[in-house]
Amino acid sequence: MEVFLETERLLLRRFTEADVDHLVRLDGDPEVMRFLTGEPTPRVEIEEKVLPGFLREYELGPVGHWAAIERSTGEFLGWFALEPSADGGAEEVELGYRLKASVWGRGYATEGARALVRKGFDGAEPMAVNLASRRVMEKAGLRYVRTFHAHFDDPLPGTEHGEVEYELRGPAPTAP
């Protein structure tokens, strides 16, 4: 197991081929996917696109997706990411995370986001209506920049309110 970083309660490690079932269960939860695609990610897409994409990201250096593991139990909780830009470069990255609904509200999102911000980060763009993610961005030390409206061929409910951009300004926050 190749650990990327550790926090008080989390281990963030590289994904492996053995994580397919974890990702299928995570992306199969309608509550988890509500602000993302609104529907489960098919297993074949995870096997042929999602997981291979995660594994390729590690070649870019400090960017990528990492499996979030609860340190005391070894339970897979989801993932955190410093996502590379659309061109695959690592000069500008975006914070991302996806956690099992059963662990929401326990501070894991904030804990993992703070750790990644300290590791190196530029900005984030949750949906404007996703207030929980916006609170996580603010707790992680990010500041609201703007609201913008992107075009989606098949928009999710709430898309009409736009996406919000957050960025790191000043020194990265310190641990609480």
In a domain, 173, yes or no: no
CB 158 within 8 A of CB 34: no
In a domain, 134, yes or no: no
pLDDT(29) > 90: yes
State percent of the chain over pLDDT 90. 43
d(CA 171, CA 73): 33
Phi-psi group of 105: left, alpha or beta (phi > 0 → left; psi -120 to 50 → alpha; rest → beta): left
More confident residue, 175 or 22: 22
In a domain, 121, yes or no: yes
In a domain, 46, yes or no: yes
Side chain identity, residue 11: L
In a domain, 114, yes or no: yes
d(CA 15, CA 58): 10
> For residue 28, what are the domain limits?
3-127
For residue 23, give the CATH number of its domain: 3.40.630.30
Domain count, the chain: 1
| 109-143 pLDDT, tens digit each | 999 988 887 765 444 455 455 667 777 767 777 77
Terminal-to-terminal C-alpha distance of the chain: 27
In a domain, 119, yes or no: yes
pLDDT(49) > 80: yes
In a domain, 175, yes or no: no
Token look-up 């830009």 returns 85
Which of helix, strand or coil describes residue 125?
Answer: coil
In a domain, 74, yes or no: yes
| 158-170 pLDDT, tens digit each | 667 777 676 765 5
